[in-house]
Amino acid sequence: MILAGDVGGTKTILALYDANGDEWRCIKKTRYSSLDHSTFTTLLQDFLKEGEMDAIASACLGVAGPIVDGDCVATNLPWVLRRSEIGNYLGTEKVRLLNDLEATAWGILDLPAVDFVTLNPDSEPRPGNSAILAAGTGLGEAIVAWDGEKHQVLASEGGHSDFAPGSKQELALLQFLWEKYPGHVSYERLLSGEGLINIYQFLKTVGHAPAQPGIEQQMREYDPAAVIGDAGVAGADALSVAALSLFCRIYGAEAGNLALKCLPYAGVYLAGGIAAKILPVITRGDFMDGYLAKGRYRAALEQIPVKVCINQEVGLLGALAFGSRLAA
């Protein structure tokens, strides 16, 4: 039996899989609000019942944070995950922690075409590298390198690289965010749930459009990023519509930056919770405008497929794929 997990700043999904011929059958799966537990160990104890640990052959967890010497200090959670502690608790040495985007990348490699929406259907996929970006609670990035025979996933913390404005409006946005984040404004400060709120607040401050009292009230009562996203997709609020438009353009620009760095002829893939939720806006053109705004290299990027992954459990499936290799 394999324990697989997708550990994020907002949610954590744990699942147990058992062999069913050449496939794996999910026998138990639970979704948790991550912040409801003070440590990962307490969450794991809540998930596993007496006797289940005896049958676990391997465990693989995708975690939102850098993996150093096999362990992880989560980026957006007050958790420290140590491979040895988890292995001791489960009774197996076959435990692996992966960066969450590393796990997502392994999952994307095995997904069927129905789990993707292509933003530029006239592109020409070719064998080669792939680039993965995922905006959600944070911004994750990874590269899937192809050597002609096999794939190798390269984890990164590229979401924390410096935001580079591409217009006067974005320059003003950077100056606005310098006040909030002195010394370093990363792409994650814009391309995440928190980032969407930052963009909305910037547009509100500069008077782009009047704030709607109803939307402002909802933002106080519920997840403000979700409120902005829903209102923007529905076209129900001018500030939210503008925030999503700017968000998509910046998202596209960073996707283009990553594409230039690894030449992902096999495709650029958008995962994470936000892209699928705002799919009607992402497909309207702002994302691709930002992606292709690379001067002389526009023609090269036009040939690279850009796809949105709509399977929201891709990280869990990637952890399962890697965990099955450990078990073997």
Do 34 and 76 reside in the same domain of the chain? yes
Residue 75, pLDDT score = 83
pLDDT < 70: residue spans in the chain: none
Query: Nearest-5° angle of CA 325, CA 261, CA 124?
Result: 80
Residue 70, pLDDT score = 94
Do 190 and 51 reside in the same domain of the chain? no
Residue 269, pLDDT score = 98
Residue 124, pLDDT score = 87
Q: What CATH number did the domain enclosing 74 receive?
A: 3.30.420.40
Do 288 and 144 reside in the same domain of the chain? yes
Residue 55, pLDDT score = 84
Do 24 and 46 reside in the same domain of the chain? yes
When divided into structural domains, the chain yields a total of: 2
Residue 49, pLDDT score = 84
Residue 97, pLDDT score = 97
Residue 21, pLDDT score = 79
Do 191 and 277 reside in the same domain of the chain? yes
Asked whether the beta carbons of 169 and 243 are under 8 A apart, the reply is no
| Phi, psi dihedral angles at 169 (to 5 degrees) | -65, -45
Query: Nearest-5° angle of CA 32, CA 34, CA 39?
Result: 115
Residue 13, pLDDT score = 96
- CA 101, 107, 113, 114 dihedral sign is negative
Q: What CATH number did the domain enclosing 157 receive?
A: 3.40.367.20
C-alpha of 211 from chain center:
29
Residue 117, pLDDT score = 97
pLDDT in tens, 257-305: 999 999 999 999 999 999 999 999 999 999 999 999 999 999 999 999 9
* Structural domain range at position 96: 2-106+313-327
pTM assigned to the model: 0.92
